[in-house]
Structure 1
Amino acid sequence: MTEPDFLQTTRASYDTVADDYAEHARDMLATRPLDRGMLDAFAESVLADGGGPVVDIGCGPGQVAAHLAGRGLSVSGIDLSPQMIAAARRDYPGLRFEVGSMTDLDLPDGGLAGALAWYSTIHLPTELLPGVFAEFHRVLAPGGRLLLGFQVGDEPRHRTEAYGKALSLVFHRRRPERVAELLAEAGLALQAQLVREAHDDGVEKTPQAFLLAVKGGKP
């Protein structure tokens, strides 16, 4: 099967800036207490349910997976970019990271206590979200938790440069209520959501959304 163009360009772009991004992102959570709060709520929910394997899907250079490991989760990461995975393995050698795609997860049915997609669905065309959310549902155990992070908005942004290097990345900004609807259609019930304003460091341009959902049953 021919790989979609957006996957090729996304992989190539992140390969190009992997080391720069790893350096930039390493301490980002330290200045974002609300983001940490959602990650910690996700971790506590998984542990309260008995724990189990968690996968950071689109883990980048691994800093969020490392944060979750520090909160007691058994976490690993996958990412489309081999260079991002190389950076994650270098910086967090105690965790397992593998190359993979959320559009075709190499994971067994119902094997995860939790899944994280932290600013990784943002590069997916909207028409692919139902299929990807169905994949998330497939790999989660009943009662498993999913946490999403993404930018809020209505129009995509195309970025052609970062860290002084040429790339091509489309950032799909979305409305939380629409994402929640798509999650529900995939059998993932919304448990909590947080929308915060853009951070004042000049990097963020729009509000940021975080949705915590659960597979089946009551939240």
Structure 2
Amino acid sequence: MGKPTRWATDTGPEHSRWYIDRFRRMAAEGIDLSGEARLLDAMLVPGSRVLDAGCGPGRVGAVLHARGHRVVGVDADAELIEAARADHPGPVWLVGDLADLDLAAAGEPDPFDAVVVAGNVMTFVAPGTERDVLSRLFAHLRPDGFAVIGFGTERGYPLPEFDADLTAAGFRLEHRFATWDLRPWLPGTDFAVSVLRRPAGAVGGDPAPR
């Protein structure tokens, strides 16, 4: 892996365990944790191949798997991946850094129909690697595949920077919403859910990092 992520440097040593326990507790209480997955499922054909990037303990990928999709989840935090494997068998859960992601080397060479990046993942990657992360996600998508990325825009990654980075990575911005249930995005909104497309005729996108 490359530089430490903000998840590792900006949180305490017990943060991952707290995060795992928090979502286990919420699930036990019957709280709806499936909003992001419902949106992706509505956009996909049955049996699609989906990359859950920054999957954490697996709540999004698990729902997509249950709905019949083929899911690979990746997170830099080994403790979160261990929890995903324990709580949600079925998907492939892998430890990996999104900034130098190479799933072919991990035994997953096939491109993905879609990528989901939920849970403020883009604000937790290592500083200065945001464009690299987007480029690696682009590289793992099939032509005309799409990514849906949501994060708080006041958490250190301003939306104009994100838009410049997604364009540099090769993506085309298709839609933007204020929430995962598709409420309209307006200037000044502090959260953004962006739908990005890898154009069908786009060149590049080497699945292995250079």
Normalised by the shorter chain, which TM-score bucket?
A: 0.7 to 0.9
Aligned residue identity for 2:22: H
For residues 130 and 208 of structure 1, the distance between their equivalents in structure 2, rounded to whole angstroms, comes to 19
* Matching residue of 2:14: 16
2:5–2:126 contact (8 Å) kept in structure 1: no
Alignment pair present for 1:106 and 2:102: yes
* Matching residue of 1:54: 50
1:180–1:211 contact (8 Å) kept in structure 2: no
- Greater helix fraction, Structure 1 or Structure 2: 1
1:52–1:73 contact (8 Å) kept in structure 2: yes
* Matching residue of 1:135: 136
What does 1:203-218 correspond to in 2, within 5 Å? 207-217=190-200
1:14–1:84 contact (8 Å) kept in structure 2: no
Shift of 1:31: 4.7
* Matched length: 184
* Matching residue of 2:115: 115
Shift of 1:11: 7.5
2:6–2:127 contact (8 Å) kept in structure 1: no
What does 1:1-219 correspond to in 2, within 5 Å? 3-4=2-3, 6-7=4-5, 10=8, 13=11, 16-26=14-24, 27=26, 30-31=31-32, 36=35, 39-47=37-45, 51-108=47-104, 111-118=111-118, 119-125=120-126, 127-153=128-154, 156=155, 172-175=156-159, 177-196=160-179, 207-217=190-200
For residues 15 and 79 of structure 1, the distance between their equivalents in structure 2, rounded to whole angstroms, comes to 17
For residues 9 and 21 of structure 1, the distance between their equivalents in structure 2, rounded to whole angstroms, comes to 11
Q: 5+ residue gaps in structure 1?
A: 157-171, 197-205
For residues 40 and 147 of structure 1, the distance between their equivalents in structure 2, rounded to whole angstroms, comes to 12
2:37–2:61 contact (8 Å) kept in structure 1: no
1:110–1:138 contact (8 Å) kept in structure 2: no
> Under a length normalisation based on structure 1, what TM-score does the superposition of the two structures give?
0.71
Q: 5+ residue gaps in structure 2?
A: 180-188, 202-210
For the structure 1 residues 44 and 186, does the alpha-carbon distance in structure 2 shift closer, same or farther, using more than 3 Å as the test? same
For residues 142 and 122 of structure 2, the distance between their equivalents in structure 1, rounded to whole angstroms, comes to 21
1:15–1:82 contact (8 Å) kept in structure 2: no
Aligned residue identity for 1:112: F
Shift of 1:43: 2.4
User: Cα RMSD (Å) of the superposition?
Assistant: 3.1
For residues 96 and 38 of structure 2, the distance between their equivalents in structure 1, rounded to whole angstroms, comes to 25
Percent identity at matched positions?
23
